[in-house]
Each structure stands twice: as structure tokens, then as C-alpha cells.
Amino acid sequence: MALWRAYQRVLTVHPWKVQVLTAGSLMGLGDTISQQLVEKRGLRGHQAGRTLIMVSLGCGFVGPVVGGWYRVLDRLIPGTTKVDALKKMLLDQGGFAPCFLGCFLPLVGALNGLSAQDNWAKLRRDYPDALVTNYYLWPAVQLANFYLVPLHYRLAVVQCVAVIWNSYLSWKAHRL
């Protein structure tokens, strides 16, 4: 509980920085889980550079983009009723999620040194499956998130659930 209270205090004083660092940390955790539990690389086979790329993506792309999106979404659809939460989830999953995935996957490819042609081929191969898999998890999570969670905690809640999602995304993005 002391750790949670400390997190809340720092979040209150530095909300943007904490959200971005939380996203980066949990993206790194997701990649570590992917490498160790899904891909079974072991400690010697762990690709630290890949984890660092995922942490950087969390801090430099996922945290700012998703955190900013939640702020915009709250301005577009103010309120916390069940209907408001449903509208937010539909806009999030119908508009934001497809665009976000369409940016995230090629960004990882580019950071991993894929040529434009290889990156495009990988996006065409992986995007449909990643989007469908997104729809198995995120609509229910986002509906609860938009209905139950205050705005300044939404990114942290999503990123905690996203540890599993990040493991999947890391595996999908690094599969050749």
C-alpha cells in the first residue's frame, strides 16, 4: 500500500512524466515476459536491446499517444455514464485502435532495421491478426476503464492489463 500511495503522490505532482514512465516500464516488462515465457530465450538469450527498444517505444510513443488520446477522448465525450463509456469505447476501438496498431507495428519494424519493403510486407501479414486479437481483449477492458477509472489513472490501468497485450505485441512485432 505504501508503494501505491507513493505512486499516487508522484502521479499528482508529475502526471505526464509518471504516465509516460509507467508505459515505458510496462512495455519493457511485456517484452521481457515475451522473451522469457513465450519465446523461452533464457537469460543468456535475452535480447536487452530489444527490451530497450520496447521501453523507448513505451516512453516515446505509447505513453504520450495513448495518454494524449484519453485526454482528447474525455473532451470529445465528457461524462462517466454507462452510455458515455460505451461511446468512448466504440470511438477508441473503432477509430484509435486500428490507427495505433497501424503505426506501432511498422515503427517497431523500422527500429529493428527492416527495410521499407520488408516492413510493409510484415505489416500486411501481421496487422489483420493483431487487430482481431485486439478486439478479443480491449473492448471489455476499455468499457470498464472508461466507466470506472478516473482519467489520470486510465493509462496506468490499461498498461497493467497491457502487460499481457505487450507480450503478445512484442512477440508479433519481432516475429520475422
Cα separation, 22 vs 37, in Å, equals: 22
pLDDT tens-digit map of 25-74 = 998 998 999 899 988 999 999 999 999 999 999 999 999 999 899 999 99
Grid cell listed for 43: 537469460
**Nearest alpha carbon to residue 158 among 2, 48, 30, 49:** 30
Q: Domain residue spans in the chain?
A: 1-174
Identify whether the C-beta of residue 101 lies closer than 8 Å to the C-beta of residue 109: no
pLDDT tens-digit map of 107-166 = 989 998 999 999 999 999 999 999 999 999 999 999 999 999 988 888 778 878 888 887
Task: Tell me, yes or no, if the pTM score tops 0.75.
Answer: yes
pLDDT, residue 49, reads 94
**pLDDT category of residue 176 using cuts at 50, 70 and 90:** low
